[in-house]
């Protein structure tokens, strides 16, 4: 079973969000990185890009496929994980810490309420695998 961190919010597209004030760190879940396989390249947005919830903000290329990553909340990109330029495999080895993708300054933190809790995400994964 995939590792699901309890204090994060999740999307049905398998992104996670760690919110602190109006800042939200975003990455892909353990389930997503397992589905992708070995990550070989990560394309991230530019700092100061303004994005809407649901909009693609980058892509992850693995030995199996290339997949887009979708923004779970709206706002402005304030940081990007530059370490992924040289070590994209961090997405595989530590998706919830060192393998984070980007940080966004949320324009509407209330959007977090529309995301899945850890328990809801676990239920979603169970339903998907049946």
For residue 1, is it within any domain? no
To which H or E segment does residue 44 belong? none
For residue 102, is it within any domain? yes
Expressed as residue numbers, the domain containing 65 is: 9-112
For residue 129, is it within any domain? no
Task: Give the per-residue pLDDT at 128.
Answer: 85
Q: What CA–CA distance (Å, rounded) separates 122 from 116?
A: 9
Mean pLDDT by 10 residues, the chain (130 residues): 91 97 97 96 97 97 96 98 97 97 97 97 92
Task: Give the per-residue pLDDT at 129.
Answer: 83
Q: What CA–CA distance (Å, rounded) separates 9 from 60?
A: 20
For residue 127, is it within any domain? no
Can you tell me whether residue 31 is helix, strand or coil?
A: helix
Strands, E assignment, the chain: 9-10, 15-20, 23-28, 39-43, 50-51, 56-62, 66-70, 75-80, 102-106
Task: Give the per-residue pLDDT at 1.
Answer: 63
For residue 14, is it within any domain? yes
């Amino acid at each position: 079973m995939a590792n699901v961190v309890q204090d994060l919010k999740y999307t049905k597209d398998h992104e996670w969000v760690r919110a602190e004030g109006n800042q939200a760190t975003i990455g892909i879940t353990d389930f997503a990185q397992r589905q992708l396989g070995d990550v070989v390249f990560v394309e991230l947005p530019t700092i100061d890009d303004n994005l809407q919830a649901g909009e693609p903000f980058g892509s992850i290329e693995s030995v199996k496929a290339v997949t887009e990553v979708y923004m779970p909340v709206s706002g402005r990109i304030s940081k990007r994980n530059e370490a992924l330029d040289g070590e994209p495999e961090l997405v595989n080895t530590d998706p919830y810490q060192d393998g984070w993708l980007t940080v966004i300054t949320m324009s509407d933190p209330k959007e977090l309420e529309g995301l899945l809790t850890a328990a809801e995400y676990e239920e979603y994964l169970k339903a998907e695998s049946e």
